[in-house]
């Protein structure tokens, strides 16, 4: 309890005590009208009324001003001492039974102030009490209605003894209550510091949980959520207020598959559909919570979004796989190309000879044609496996996409296809114009072939400064090529950039593989999103401001 409240309680207790004294005085006067002289009764009533007024004024000062609180505390102690002294004066002096009230003043001084002030109070009480009895003995207070007779009857020895015993009791009370009050104050101070420490520790704990760069939740033994930190809100799109006291499986239903082992998962993963419809891969670990007695108190679960990590892992695996395939295939292709030239040349010489049968000539022409086609295929593959460094120059993206769009006008594969070019006019980047034209042409052709009965292709591009899926921080161009075609399943998506992989009967399977290599060579990233029957969406990130040349992957 602080000093202000303690002082207010002290004044209220005084009011209660004085009220009890007033009530007992009135009752006594009613039962025995002659027991209290009229002058003493009038004096008592005035003293009590004055005490009420002083108490009310003191409470108002405490409420509206703290500046005078120390002075007011001393005033309360002094007033109580003089109140008791006047009470003794009005109730018989040495014959009054109220001298013990001095001790209450001393106790109050110990509680409100300190041991030293309690000793000063005991001294003042002793001086006033001794002076009152001495003055009564010598008849100096008869003018105030205090009779000398009781003191004379008691004798000087008894008066001295009474003064000595009371003063001894006053000092003993001051020492004991002062010691106890100091112990109490030290305990209060230690408790207050401990409470402050606990509050600071609680604030620190809440701050750590709130700023933790992982989702954290705890559930009680009934499986209901008790803690749901800020990062968990970001990951799930569910607020702490919405999650609190909800069953765990109502918030994260995918965890139901772990069953009774949910309290001790070292490393688990589950899929979670975000509010925007995206499927996230969430990794988590859990452990039981115990109280200070070692009893189980619930479960703590820490989880993170592993979607980007999984995507990067897949890209690394794909890059390693493509590098190995490309290197091996390049060697094989180079070895095949040389004998192909000999086969083509020999077939042409035989076909030009005299006396050759027309049927044989026709077969030889087929050999030459297929050899040339195979040679072109190998040339394309070698271009993929050993790409040239991009010759970068400023490229207006809108203009580039318009050129690619115009190429589709004469291509029969685009007759039933509508192309919507939503690219901004002012978007530009540094890149190899021809290679980027090849990228977008291959993507358009791929989209058109996925829509044999017609459909819609959307080209969209914008500049982004921060995107978690971009390969680097800074200004990036995000280009989207989306179609309304037949789409792909997960297995097809995972292999779509592999060389020689194709979902079509015709085709080399090098178009998207080449796109992947060119985008990487420009320091960018390409990603695919698709669903069977739901169309396909390719997203390309390219640096909008290239600081220099990127090495080949």
Question: What's the CATH code of the domain at 276?
Answer: 3.30.450.20
- Asked, for residue 415, whether it belongs to a domain, the answer is yes
- Kindly state whether residues 339 and 443 are assigned to the same domain: no
Residue 481, domain CATH: 3.30.565.10
CB atoms within 10 A of CB 311: 15
Together in a domain, 409 and 533 = yes
* 348 shares its domain with 421: no
Please tell me whether residues 269 and 345 are part of one structural domain.
no
Q: Are residues 418 and 535 in the same domain?
A: yes
Identify the residue whose tokens are 């026709």.
362
Domain hosting 249: range is 212-305
Domain boundary among 193, 226, 248: 193
| Residues 9, 152 share a domain | yes
Compute the radius of gyration of the chain from its Cα atoms: 49
Report yes or no on 549 lying in a domain.
no
Residues 295 and 402 in one domain: no
CB 98 within 8 A of CB 87: yes
* CB atoms near residue 236 (< 10 Å): 21
Provide the 10 A C-beta neighbour count for residue 496.
23
pLDDT at 552: 38
**For residue 189, is it within any domain?**
yes
Same domain, 81 and 188: yes
Helix axes 101-112, 156-211, angle to 10 degrees: 30
CATH number of the domain residue 348 falls in: 1.20.58
Per-residue pLDDT of the chain (553 residues; tens, 9 = 90+): 567 777 788 888 888 888 887 787 777 667 766 666 777 777 788 888 888 888 888 888 877 777 777 788 888 888 888 888 888 888 888 888 888 888 888 888 888 888 888 898 899 999 998 998 888 888 888 877 778 788 888 888 888 888 899 899 999 998 998 888 888 878 877 777 776 667 777 777 777 777 777 888 888 888 899 888 888 888 888 888 888 898 888 888 888 878 767 777 778 888 888 776 778 888 888 888 888 787 888 888 888 888 888 877 877 777 776 666 666 666 666 666 667 667 777 777 777 776 677 777 777 778 777 777 777 777 666 666 666 788 888 888 888 888 888 888 888 888 889 999 888 888 888 888 889 998 999 999 999 988 888 899 999 988 887 676 777 777 888 999 999 998 988 888 888 888 777 777 666 677 888 888 889 888 888 989 998 888 999 999 988 864 443 443 3
pTM for the model stands at 0.45
Examine residue 317 and state whether it is found in any structural domain, yes or no: yes
Within this chain, do residues 33 and 170 fall inside the same structural domain, yes or no?
Answer: yes
Establish if 550 belongs to a structural domain: no
Query: How many Cα atoms within 13 Å fall on the side-chain side of residue 275?
Result: 8
How far from chain centre, in Å, is Cα 309? 22
In a domain, 345, yes or no: yes
Q: How far is CA 257 from CA 225, 260, 262, in A?
A: 18, 9, 9
Q: How many domains does the chain have?
A: 4
Distance of CA 41 to the CA centre of its chain: 70
Rounded distance between C-alpha atoms, residue 445 and residue 511, angstroms: 9
Rounded Cα distance between 15 and 35, Å, is 25
Question: Does residue 207 form part of some domain?
Answer: no
Phi-psi label, residue 298: left if phi above 0, alpha if psi -120 to 50, beta otherwise: left
For 397-454, strand residue ranges (E) read 417-421, 428-431
Q: Does residue 34 belong to any structural domain of this protein? A: yes
Of 349, 353, 322, the C-alpha closest to 514 is 322
Tell me, yes or no, whether 369 and 434 share the same domain. no
Burial of 480 per CB tally in 10 Å (0-12, 13-18, 19+): middle
Asked if residues 445 and 481 have their Cβ atoms less than 8 Å apart, the reply is: no
Torsion sign over Cα 91, 92, 96, 102: positive
Residues 182 and 246 occupy one common structural domain = no
């Amino acid at each position: 309890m602080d000093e202000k409240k303690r002082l207010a309680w002290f004044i209220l207790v005084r009011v209660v005590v004085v009220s009890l004294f007033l009530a007992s005085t009135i009752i006594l006067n009613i039962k025995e009208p002659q027991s209290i002289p009229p002058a003493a009764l009038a004096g008592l009533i005035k003293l009590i009324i004055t005490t009420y007024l002083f108490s009310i004024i003191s409470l108002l000062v405490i409420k509206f001003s703290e500046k005078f609180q120390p002075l007011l505390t001393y005033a309360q102690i002094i007033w109580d001492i003089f109140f008791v002294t006047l009470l003794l004066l009005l109730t018989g002096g040495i014959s009054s039974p109220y001298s013990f009230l001095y001790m209450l003043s001393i106790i109050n001084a110990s509680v409100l102030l300190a041991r030293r002030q309690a000793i000063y109070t005991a001294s003042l009480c002793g001086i006033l009490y001794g002076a009152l009895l001495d003055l009564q003995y010598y008849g100096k207070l008869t003018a105030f209605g205090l009779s000398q007779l009781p003191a004379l009857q008691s004798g000087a020895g008894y008066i001295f003894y009474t003064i000595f015993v009371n003063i001894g009791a006053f000092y003993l009370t001051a020492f004991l209550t002062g010691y106890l009050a100091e112990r109490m104050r030290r305990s209060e101070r230690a408790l207050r510091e401990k409470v402050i420490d606990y509050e600071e520790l609680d604030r620190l704990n809440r701050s750590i949980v709130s700023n933790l760069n992982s989702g954290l939740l705890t559930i009680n033994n009934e499986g209901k959520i008790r803690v749901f930190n800020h990062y968990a809100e970001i990951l799930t799109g569910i607020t702490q207020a919405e999650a609190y006291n909800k069953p765990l499986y109502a918030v994260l239903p995918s965890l139901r598959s772990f069953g009774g082992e949910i309290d001790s998962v070292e490393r688990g993963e589950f899929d979670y559909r975000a509010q925007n419809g995206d499927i996230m891969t969430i990794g988590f670990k859990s452990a039981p919570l115990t109280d200070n007695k070692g009893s189980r108190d619930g479960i703590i679960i820490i989880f993170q979004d592993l979607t980007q990590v999984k995507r990067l892992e897949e890209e690394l695996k794909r890059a390693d796989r493509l590098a190995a395939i490309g290197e091996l295939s390049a060697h094989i292709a180079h070895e095949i190309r040389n004998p192909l030239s000999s086969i083509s040349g020999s077939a042409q010489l035989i076909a030009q000879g005299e006396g050759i049968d027309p049927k044989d000539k026709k077969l030889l022409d087929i050999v030459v044609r297929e050899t040339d086609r195979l040679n072109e295929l190998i040339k394309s593959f070698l271009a993929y496996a050993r790409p040239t460094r991009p010759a970068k120059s400023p490229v207006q993206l809108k203009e580039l996409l318009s050129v690619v769009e115009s190429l589709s006008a004469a291509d029969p594969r685009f007759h039933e296809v509508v192309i919507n070019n939503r690219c901004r006019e002012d978007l530009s980047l540094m890149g190899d114009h021809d290679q980027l034209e090849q990228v977008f042409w291959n993507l358009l052709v791929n989209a058109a072939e996925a829509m044999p009965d017609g459909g819609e292709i959307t080209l969209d591009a914008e500049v982004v400064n921060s995107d978690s899926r971009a390969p680097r921080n800074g200004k990036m161009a995000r280009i989207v090529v989306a179609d309304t075609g037949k789409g792909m399943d997960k297995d097809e998506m995972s292999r779509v950039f592999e060389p020689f992989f194709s979902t079509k009967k015709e085709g080399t399977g090098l178009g998207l593989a080449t796109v992947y290599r060119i985008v990487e060579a420009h320091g960018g990233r390409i990603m695919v999103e698709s669903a069977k029957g739901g169309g396909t969406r390719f997203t390309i990130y390219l640096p909008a401001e290239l600081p220099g040349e990127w090495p080949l992957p």
